[in-house]
């Protein structure tokens, strides 16, 4: 049994090359983008990366879901979830995750960003942007496009030259399972498979 860790999220598997497409659930697989308030680089600091991983795991224990892919950049994250059959309530999961992370982050001395008067009246804190981007993966091809887009994202934003150079990514998990070659996405520009992703909420 091998273990790959993505900022505190662990994925166990029994070896062999998996068919990662089996994670696609028609009507129940979603691509998300979450951004920090004013694009503050909260996740450039290791303690905040660990904290987010802790809260992710606790969210999963309360409301189960499969994390198919995830990448965490300093000011935003992308992730693909598959929810159990008949359960499309991702909003409850995200609301709890954002609220719990915000509380612990501020309790630990984290800095929040200035907010508007309307947000102040509603007692919303300046850690996360209010809304998040959601896209329901329509079919396996759409799932694959967002899967590749997510893993190439650190290169898109100029943080690294190759996806494998970015530590906070499930790319390493999927290299270990034989889905990607280690040098996938190096010096090739945006993968053609991800070209259909026009707007990812960034």
Report the CATH number at residue 113.
3.30.70.1290
| CA 31, chain centre distance (Å) | 8
pLDDT at 116 over 70: no
More confident residue, 39 or 198: 39
pLDDT at 5 over 80: no
87: exposed, middle or buried (C-beta count within 10 Å: 0-12, 13-18, 19+)? middle
pLDDT at 50 over 70: yes
Asked if the structure places residue 65 within a domain, the reply is yes
86: DSSP letter: T
Asked if the structure places residue 20 within a domain, the reply is no
Residue 118 is predicted with a pLDDT of 58
pLDDT at 59 over 70: yes
Asked if the structure places residue 199 within a domain, the reply is no
In terms of average pLDDT, the best of 17-21, 60-64, 136-140 is 60-64
Asked if the structure places residue 200 within a domain, the reply is no
pLDDT digits (tens, 9 = 90+) for 36-47: 999 999 999 999
Residue 6 is predicted with a pLDDT of 55
More confident residue, 153 or 113: 153
Query: Cα separation of 139 and 133, whole Å?
Result: 18
Total structural domains in the chain? 1
Asked if the structure places residue 50 within a domain, the reply is yes
Residue 123 is predicted with a pLDDT of 65
Residue 44 sits in which domain range? 2-15+25-192
Asked if the structure places residue 69 within a domain, the reply is yes
Asked if the structure places residue 166 within a domain, the reply is yes
DSSP 16-83: S---GGGG--TTTEEEEEEEBGGG--GGGSHHHHHHHHHHHHHHHHHS--EEEEEEE-SSEEEEEEEP
Asked if the structure places residue 181 within a domain, the reply is yes
Residue 114 is predicted with a pLDDT of 83
Q: Quick check: pTM over 0.85?
A: yes
Rg (CA), the chain: 17
């Amino acid at each position: 049994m091998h273990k790959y860790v993505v900022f505190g999220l662990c994925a166990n598997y029994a070896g062999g090359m998996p068919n990662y497409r089996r994670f696609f659930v028609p009507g129940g697989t979603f691509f998300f983008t979450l951004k920090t308030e004013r694009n503050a680089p909260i996740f450039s600091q290791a303690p905040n990366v660990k904290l987010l991983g802790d809260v992710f795991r606790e969210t999963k224990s309360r409301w189960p879901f499969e994390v198919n892919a995830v990448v965490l950049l300093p000011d935003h994250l992308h992730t693909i979830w598959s929810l159990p059959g008949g359960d499309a309530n991702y909003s409850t999961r995200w609301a709890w995750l954002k609220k719990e992370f915000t509380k612990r982050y501020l309790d630990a001395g984290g800095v929040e960003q200035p907010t508007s008067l309307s947000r102040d009246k509603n007692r919303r804190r300046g850690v996360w942007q209010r809304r998040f981007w959601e896209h329901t993966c329509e079919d396996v091809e759409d799932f694959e496009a967002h899967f590749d887009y997510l893993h190439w994202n650190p290169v898109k934003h100029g943080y690294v030259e190759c996806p494998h150079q970015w530590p906070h990514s499930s790319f390493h998990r999927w290299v270990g399972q034989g889905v990607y070659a280690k040098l996938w996405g190096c010096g090739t520009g945006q993968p053609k498979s991800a070209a259909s992703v026009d707007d990812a909420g960034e």
